[in-house]
């Protein structure tokens, strides 16, 4: 572990450069990810996230002796993901597969049942994340995931915390309730969308209020310490950076409880915030 990137932030940011709003081309994303993995802040960076449909184009961009960790975003039917391990170039290590199991308002259980068979087709250390809408059927889906994990399956939850419409941003109370529900089930989770910056803020271009990833670090920590939804929501809603930074600093050599991390089309924006807040020591040049 780098002395410049504390344990609390290890693997926090998955590299989602090819996804909106960054929308890098695959060659651009691979070249940038290579630089990230060689940089002083490499411990901060998780795998390169790619759509399953983009995987066939990846081997041609790798050196003969290069190895790369990827997270696969399922943009194909679940059965087409089962042969991933056998069909993937040996230079590519599939660390995780993520897939939405339902649209907003749909029952997530049928999609979750289909996805639950995937871990058995992947390497033993690969994880599967089921993206569950924060709407009807959520708690039943979390119960199903908890049952699968209790049976030994490497499957966990994923939630969306932003997007191109205001309703895709959960309120602090909604997100606090979800974190508490995962805590109660000892269920790890990932987040995606809208988390480029450390502290809760309003985007001046869209007017949307974005969650801060340091808020979520602090909120998850207090939830795991037994806090009720109201206290967790208060932490998620806070905009004063000082208590949030102090809460993160006091835990910087601890592992993150439950929250695996988040995908971001920019690795540098979260890094810059961490450096400016004094939570990571290092220069800002990649």
Q: What is the pLDDT of residues 250-278, one digit of tens each?
A: 999 999 999 999 999 999 999 999 999 99
**β-strand partners of 127:** 96
Average pLDDT over residues 237-259: 96
Q: Looking at residue 164, what is its pLDDT?
A: 85
Determine the Cα–Cα distance for residues 172 and 187; give it in Å rounded to an integer: 19
Which residues make Cβ contacts (< 8 Å) with residue 198, sequence separation at least 6? 212, 213, 214, 215, 241, 244, 270, 273, 274, 277, 279
Tell me which residue has tokens 């499957």. Answer: 155
Q: Give 49-100 pLDDT, tens digit per residue.
A: 999 999 999 999 999 999 999 999 999 999 999 999 999 999 999 999 999 9
Q: Looking at residue 17, what is its pLDDT?
A: 97
Percent of the chain with pLDDT over 90: 91
**Sign of the alpha-carbon dihedral angle for 245, 247, 251, 257:** negative
Other C-beta atoms within 10 Å of 201: how many?
15
Q: Give 153-211 pLDDT, tens digit per residue.
A: 999 999 999 988 888 999 999 999 999 999 999 999 999 999 989 999 999 999 999 99
Contact (CB, 8 A) for 30 and 15: no
Structure tokens at 271: 């890094």
Q: Looking at residue 3, what is its pLDDT?
A: 60
Tell me which residue has tokens 């790890």. Answer: 188
Confidence of residue 4 (pLDDT cuts 50, 70, 90): confident
Confidence of residue 33 (pLDDT cuts 50, 70, 90): very high
Q: Looking at residue 284, what is its pLDDT?
A: 57
Instruction: Say yes or no to pLDDT of 1 above 50.
Output: no
Closest by CA to 263, choosing from 158, 165, 152, 185, is 158
């Amino acid at each position: 572990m780098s002395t410049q990137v504390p344990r609390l932030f290890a693997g926090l940011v998955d590299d989602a450069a090819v996804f909106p709003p960054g929308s890098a081309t695959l060659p651009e994303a691979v070249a940038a990810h290579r630089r990230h993995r060689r940089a002083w802040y490499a411990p901060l960076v998780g795998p390169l996230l790619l759509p399953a449909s983009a995987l066939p184009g990846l081997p041609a961009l790798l050196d003969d002796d290069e190895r790369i960790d990827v997270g696969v975003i399922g943009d194909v039917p679940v059965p087409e993901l089962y042969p991933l391990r056998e069909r993937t170039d040996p230079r590519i290590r599939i660390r995780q597969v993520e897939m939405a199991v339902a649209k907003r308002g749909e029952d997530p259980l049928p999609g979750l049942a289909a996805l639950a068979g995937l871990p058995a087709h992947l390497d033993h250390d690969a994880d599967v994340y089921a993206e569950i809408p924060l709407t009807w059927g959520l708690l039943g889906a979390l119960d199903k995931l908890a049952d699968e994990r209790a049976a030994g399956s490497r499957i966990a939850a994923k939630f969306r915390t932003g997007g191109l419409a205001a309703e895709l941003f959960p309120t602090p109370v909604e997100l606090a309730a979800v974190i508490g529900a995962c805590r109660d089930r000892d269920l790890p989770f990932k987040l995606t969308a809208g988390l480029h910056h450390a502290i809760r803020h309003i985007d001046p271009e869209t007017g949307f209020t974005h969650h801060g990833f340091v808020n979520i670090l602090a909120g998850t920590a207090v939830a795991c310490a037994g806090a009720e939804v109201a206290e967790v929501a208060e932490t998620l809603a806070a905009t004063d950076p000082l208590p949030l930074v102090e809460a993160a600093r006091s835990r910087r050599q601890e592992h993150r409880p439950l929250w695996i991390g988040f995908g971001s089309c920019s690795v540098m924006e979260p890094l810059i915030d961490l450096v400016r807040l004094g939570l990571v020591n290092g220069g800002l040049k990649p």
